[in-house]
Structure 1
Amino acid sequence: MPQHHLRPAGLPPVNGYSHVVAFGGRMAAVSGQLPLDASGELVGQDDPREQTRQVFENLSTALTAVGAGVRDIVKLTIYLTDLADLEAFRLVRDEYISREHPPASSLVRVGGLVHPGARIEIDALAMIPG
């Protein structure tokens, strides 16, 4: 039976989705995370590094709620509104993700995201240790 975690402490409000769902005993799917803080405010208005860092912090918070962490991610899907932000994304990503054992990844350039000031969104699949 899936375990739906609508809003783990520290993540922004939701509207019709769970931030993270654990399933199959050892898998977790994390909804697309935006650069929003716990109150739903945009972080890093025009700073792609700060936005990316907030997104990875949100991924970490969601995964912690199901007993996993960012090093347990097996698949990332990254949505960027501007490919000029790719280098900033990569620099911050490498602070969180193992360079020796990186997850599978897809990158998509999009025309916009649900929050008009967001430059990046990331969703993830992770293995729950144990």
Structure 2
Amino acid sequence: MQHVVRPHGSPPVNGYSHAVVFTGPMVAVSAQVPVDAEGRTVGESDPAAQIRQVFTNLATALQAAGTQLQDVVKLTVYLTDLADLDDFRRIRDEHLDPARPPACSLVQVAGLVHPCFRIEIDALAVLPASA
């Protein structure tokens, strides 16, 4: 996997690569929401708790598929409130290597499937050759 963080002539980045080159089978992870294993919404008024739960859910799904967060090549992030962006970036950097960030799209949305959800993230990852 090769992370093309900021090619010459491209704008500055904040925690993502402009491109990621990889080979091998791909794993697509459905968008994860801030719900725990018992189906309870986490952190209804706590964006950081919701973001952490979403990364926990992503890690769980990736592990079940034979890969992990460090193998993510693309994230798509949906936030209902851009005031949560700093929390997202800080927590993302706790889970992903800031030196090898995935490509990323971030979209502000008017709402998600449940009115208490503040964030939803889907991911594409490469399946390591040894898997």
Q: Which amino acid aligns with 2:63?
A: T
Q: Structure 1 CA distance, aligned partners of 2:29 and 2:75?
A: 10
Per the alignment, residue 116 of structure 2 pairs with 117
User: CA RMSD for the aligned pairs?
Assistant: 1.2
> Any gaps of 5 or more consecutive residues in structure 1?
1-24
Letter aligned with residue 70 of structure 2: R
Question: Take 1:27 and 1:65, find their aligned partners in 2: how far apart are those partners?
Answer: 14
Equivalent runs, 1:63-102 vs 2, <5 Å:
63-102=62-101
Q: CA deviation at 1:39?
A: 1.6
Q: Which amino acid aligns with 1:61?
A: T
When the two structures are superposed, what TM-score results if normalisation uses the length of structure 1? 0.80
Which ranges in structure 2 are unaligned for 5 or more consecutive residues? 1-23
Between Structure 1 and Structure 2, how many residues are aligned? 107
Q: Which residues in structure 2 correspond to 1:11-22 (within 5 Å)?
A: none
Runs of 4 or more consecutive aligned structure 1 residues displaced over 2 Å after TM superposition: none
Q: How does 1:42-57 map to 2 (within 5 A)?
A: 42-57=41-56
Number of the residue aligned with 1:39: 38
Deviation at 1:116, TM superposition (A): 1.1
Write out per-residue CA displacement over residues 11-59 of structure 1, whole angstroms, 9 at most, x where no aligned residue. Answer: xxxxxxxxxxxxxx62100001000001211001111111000000000
Indicate the percent of aligned positions where both proteins have the same amino acid: 61
Q: Secondary structure at the match of 1:107?
A: strand
